[in-house]
Amino acid sequence: MALKLNLHHEIDMRKALKKRDPLKFAAGGVIAIVAGFAIYYLIQFGEAHSMSQEFAVLEQQLKSLEPKAAAAKKHEDELNEAIKASQAMVKKVEGRFYWAPVIASIAAIVPREVQVTALIGDVDGGLLKRGSVTIEGIATGAEPRKTAEDLRKAVADCFAAKYRKVNASFKRLDESSEAAKLDGHALPTVDFAIQVSMETGEEPPPPPAPYIPRRSRT
Amino acid sequence: MKLGNDEIKKIGLGAMAVGGVTFVYFTFLLGPLQDGKKATQASIDATKPKIEAANAQIKKTAELEKTAPAASLTLKQLCALIPEGSPVAWFPTQVGDFFKREGIEKVTTVVVGDSPDKELAGFKRISWTIRAPRVEFPAFTQTIADFENEELLVEISSIRLESMRNDPEGQSVLLTVNNVVK
């Protein structure tokens, strides 16, 4: 067996010790970490920069849009005001109470046994209109009271077909001393006044429910 | 392998160096950068809705502009029915001319009062009484219908039609009307 002698064992040991120098490892580790940190920082910096640029673009865009939007809002308000005024005017014109059909209806239902001496009508209100019509006259016939009552019913039925909440009642129904001549016969007469009330137009919105505060439990 | 004292010291020093670098990195470099990014992102998030709202407002107004002329045309047409000048100067004449065309003479129109119109800003309502000394009932129904159709800004609020004692065929009429004027 050959004998091997290593006369450089001390040099080899020093070399081996130098190879596994912790400071060297630590320095390498630090450099690697710093490089990683630097790369990560650069990526983050790039992102931050692109975000700043995006924000600058958006800010510029907003700066140019804001005056336009403010002007548009002002113009919109003006247009809405004009539209609202127009709608209110149209509503006013279309929501008027028309008297011609009222007079025509009364003229159509008054029988030949009745002479109307006065017709008084009033209407009041905005969109919801409340009206009243008073028909005064003289009724004749074999039973003049029945003639007047038939007219009252006819008026009530006729108005109920066109208006809401129609109520027709006699304000006055008195015997008259005067006699009327109809078809050559002298007939008794009655003086009457029929008052008709009605509603037309838009119904007002229902009132809000009253606020009832909750009682706390004791 | 056993570490010597010298090596342990070097490892400790290395660890301290790594800790120091990490601290400096996060505290003075990455931290402020991240904070800046967060602030920028917050600003972007706040700006985007503002831009969207501004664009929506411009679009909304543009769409309204398309429909507005048709709506305001009606108002213009109705306003064109109101003559220039004081209503006391033109309304009685206008009413007199109308009834004359309908064959009713001697119509008098008197102003009762005026008040601002609650439903129409910039307009006022004038009340008038129109008195016709003699009309004939069947024909007068048509006259009233024509008046209501022709005078769109006038509403009859009260009508009083009474027989005349000395003229059984004729009736006297008193109308109270409200007229919308500027």
- The per-residue pLDDT for range A76-103, each reduced to its tens digit, is 998 888 888 888 888 888 889 999 999 9
Instruction: Give the chain B residue whose CA is nearest to the CA of A20.
Output: B7
**B35 or B68, greater pLDDT:** B35
Contact assignment for A65 to B64 by CB distance below 8 Å: no
pLDDT per residue as tens digits for the range A144-192: 999 999 999 999 999 999 999 999 999 999 988 887 887 788 889 999 9
How do strand A128-140 and strand A114-124 relate by DSSP bridges?
antiparallel
Residue B148 — pLDDT band, cuts 50, 70, 90?
very high
Using alpha carbons only, give the angle A112, A113, A115 rounded to the nearest 5 degrees.
Answer: 80
- Mean pLDDT across A188-214: 83
CA dihedral B22, B27, B32, B35 (to 10 degrees): 90
What predicted TM-score, i.e. pTM, was given to this entire model? 0.70
Residues sharing a CB contact under 8 Å with residue B144, sequence separation 6 or more, in sequence order: A99, A100, A103, B156, B159
Residues of A with Cβ-Cβ distance to B51 under 8 angstroms? 58, 61-62, 65
Inform me whether the pLDDT recorded for A17 exceeds 60.
yes
Does residue B68 have a pLDDT over 70? yes
Dig out the tokens for B31 from the structure.
């931290």
Q: Residue A193: name the closest of A146, A152, A154 by CA.
A: A152
Let me know the angle formed at the C-alpha of B166 by B160 and B170, rounded to the nearest 5 degrees. Answer: 45
Whole-angstrom distance, CA of residue B122 vs CA of residue A10: 113
Identify the closest residue of chain A to B50 by CA–CA distance. A62
Q: What is the pLDDT of residues B51-63, one digit of tens each?
A: 999 999 999 999 9
Confidence of residue B7 (pLDDT cuts 50, 70, 90): confident
Instruction: Return the amino acid letter for A43.
Output: I
